[in-house]
Amino acid sequence: MNLPDQGAWSITVRAEWALGLLVALVLLVLAAFLRMLSLHARIARRREELERELHETFRRGGDLVARYGSEEFAIVLPGIERRRASLYAERLRRRVWRLAIPYDASPVADRVTISGGVATVPPGVLARADGLLRGADAALYRGAKCLGRNASSRRRPSSFKRTE
């Protein structure tokens, strides 16, 4: 399963804003994903399991799942408010937990876990998609670091400054 690269999410965000839609961005980090993959013989199967969970969780028309980095994924959810996007992120966190992909070197659990950050911004509030990314990243940092990992967090819309 080939996922689009990190450029695809920002193009999608700008296109949805041009249509006048509220856009939610979910930024996910798989805990030590690359290290875990190097420890297991069935690397391709494990990667496919995780990517399949991403696709099955975020499968509405218009949803986009893209790679953002080696261990990160950016998910664009057009027309979804913050609370509902947070529910999607939490659903995925639980699904990955239930996969029970073993990872003994994890400082958090005996399996692979994910942390997620959610931000939503209506069109016209931000001029650039990277502002939405910064909001999701701040929420991710709060979820991954402050809440003890294997968690999801969301950014308050009031923390974004309107741009002209």
In this prediction, residues 113-139 reach a mean pLDDT of 83
**Predicted pLDDT at 76:** 93
Structural domains for the chain? 6-159 (3.30.70.270)
**Predicted pLDDT at 123:** 76
The amino acid sitting at 4 is P
Q: Which is more confidently placed, 25 or 45?
A: 25
pLDDT tier at 158, thresholds 50, 70, 90: very low
The model's pLDDT over 141-157, given as tens digits with 9 standing for 90+, comes to 876 666 556 666 665 54
Residue (of 160, 154, 164, 153) closest to 131 by Cα position: 160
C-alpha dist (Å) from residue 160 to 25, 115, 132, 163? 14, 22, 8, 9
Do the Cβ atoms of 132 and 23 come closer than 8 Å?
yes
User: Please, what sign has the CA dihedral across residues 133, 89, 72, 52?
Assistant: negative
Q: DSSP H helical segments within 1-160, as ranges?
A: 6-18, 33-39, 43-57, 82-99, 129-141
**Predicted pLDDT at 84:** 92
Give CA angle at 148 (147, 151), nearest 5°.
65
In this prediction, residues 109-117 reach a mean pLDDT of 82
Residue 125: pLDDT above 70?
Answer: yes
